[in-house]
Structure 1
């Protein structure tokens, strides 16, 4: 094992999705665009957007993983990616389609749900205030 390479661990809420050793580079997507990690980069934290995470190892070459929103943390040679959902694949166009279909539509559903919950909460607060004043 080459100690100058990175160790990547991708976590989902209830399981370890993937562990890769001897990773030479990682490319991830944030709100500000894509950025790359090399083994000697300084430690960092980044909020990830739904997109394609790419990592490269000598044994497997480039590996593509569609990831939902989450966070990436690099400390030393260890890179931890914690996301809500992930899909591994080799066809980039299919993975891009999966990101659009699975992860971005989920965000729209979640926004609608939050809107409904906000309306319910405001209605409840209004009725409690009427009850208290009446």
Structure 2
């Protein structure tokens, strides 16, 4: 039903973050809480919560990957695949925490810039509509419709 190691793959739409890494065991988290996977695990599928996936490499080293939710499948008792929108892999939790904070700050800054630009474009559109609705302005400052000015 399964080998002695897990084969782990973590992918985002733009990158293969972890590509067929060997693991002795894995810990992940879904809506029901934290759970573990070992070789020979029953096949299943679950929706991961935004969390840190942890696994132990064959040499005993601990590896980590922060995921922004995603879908995890276990097939054949040894193949673990995670598909998520964003993932950051690292060998140390401290580094991973700093990197996630840096990426999140960059995302918040980009969202702020988008909101500012959206408000600027909206204000520009409103000003343009007001100019159009006001019509032409006579040099002495009186607004006279063009038809009356021509005597029509």
| TM-score (structure 1 length as normaliser) | 0.66
Separation of aligned partners in 2, 1:12 and 1:20: 14
The alpha-carbon deviation at position 89 of structure 1 amounts to 2.1
Aligned pairs, number: 106
Separation of aligned partners in 2, 1:93 and 1:13: 26
| TM-score (structure 2 length as normaliser) | 0.59
- Structure 1 residue runs without a partner (length 5+): 110-134
Separation of aligned partners in 1, 2:7 and 2:81: 8
Partner of 1:9: 9
Separation of aligned partners in 2, 1:93 and 1:50: 17
Partner of 1:132: none
Instruction: Point out the structure with the larger strand share.
Output: 1
Partner of 1:82: 83
Separation of aligned partners in 2, 1:12 and 1:50: 14
Separation of aligned partners in 1, 2:79 and 2:21: 9
Secondary structure of 2:39's match?
Answer: coil
Secondary structure of 1:95's match?
Answer: helix
Question: How big is each residue's C-alpha offset from its partner over 1:39-90, in whole Å with a ceiling of 9 and x where there is no partner?
Answer: 1110111100111000111236110111111010000111100011111223
Secondary structure of 1:14's match?
Answer: coil
Q: Is the 8 A contact 2:69 2:85 kept in 1?
A: yes
Partner of 2:93: 92
- Structure 2 residue runs without a partner (length 5+): 112-152
Partner of 1:33: 33
Higher-Rg structure is 2
